[in-house]
């Protein structure tokens, strides 16, 4: 179930670091669900690791953060050219299973709290029923 939201309209990220393909569900100020297909020919796999490619954990954290940034701009009715997002903290990150080339990531992020321009989130990545990563983080949004 796709939405009418276009990721590139919501966040300023572009290849090679745009890590959200599609928003599949969103409720402003509550939650968002998005997907990312990890392509087998992604540049990162040339070095991480050539003989056993694994999508880096920091990419999983960034993908969840980008999904959260999409939620904020949906909630604030703003777009990529209006705002910029900064990590304030990664409160916890757990990597439950490696993310491999060819996997379709299902990301879900919940907005836990908002105070002014500061947002707390909790998110995870699943592939099918398998939990791959969990992240709790705080971010700040600023107008540009």
Bridge partner list, 136: 92, 122
Any catalytic annotation for residue 13? Answer: no
- DSSP codes of every residue in 100-127: -TT-EEEEEEEEEEEETTEEEEEEEEEE
93 Rama sector, left if φ>0, alpha if ψ -120 to 50, beta otherwise: beta
Name the catalytic one among 13, 48, 52, 124. 48
Return the active site residues.
Answer: 48
């Amino acid at each position: 179930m796709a939405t009418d939201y276009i990721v590139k309209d919501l966040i300023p990220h572009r290849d090679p670091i745009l890590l959200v393909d599609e928003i599949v569900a969103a409720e402003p100020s509550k939650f968002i669900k998005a997907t990312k297909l990890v392509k087998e020919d992604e540049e990162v796999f040339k070095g991480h690791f050539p003989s056993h490619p694994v999508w880096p954990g920091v990419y999983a954290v960034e993908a969840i953060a980008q999904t959260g940034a999409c939620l904020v701009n949906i909630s604030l009715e703003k777009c990529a050219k209006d705002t910029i997002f900064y990590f304030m903290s990664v409160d916890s990150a757990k990597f439950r299973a490696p993310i491999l080339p060819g996997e379709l990531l299902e990301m879900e992020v919940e907005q836990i709290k908002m105070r002014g321009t500061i947002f707390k989130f909790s998110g995870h990545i699943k592939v099918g029923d398998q939990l791959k990563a969990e992240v709790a983080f705080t971010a700040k949004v600023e107008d540009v």
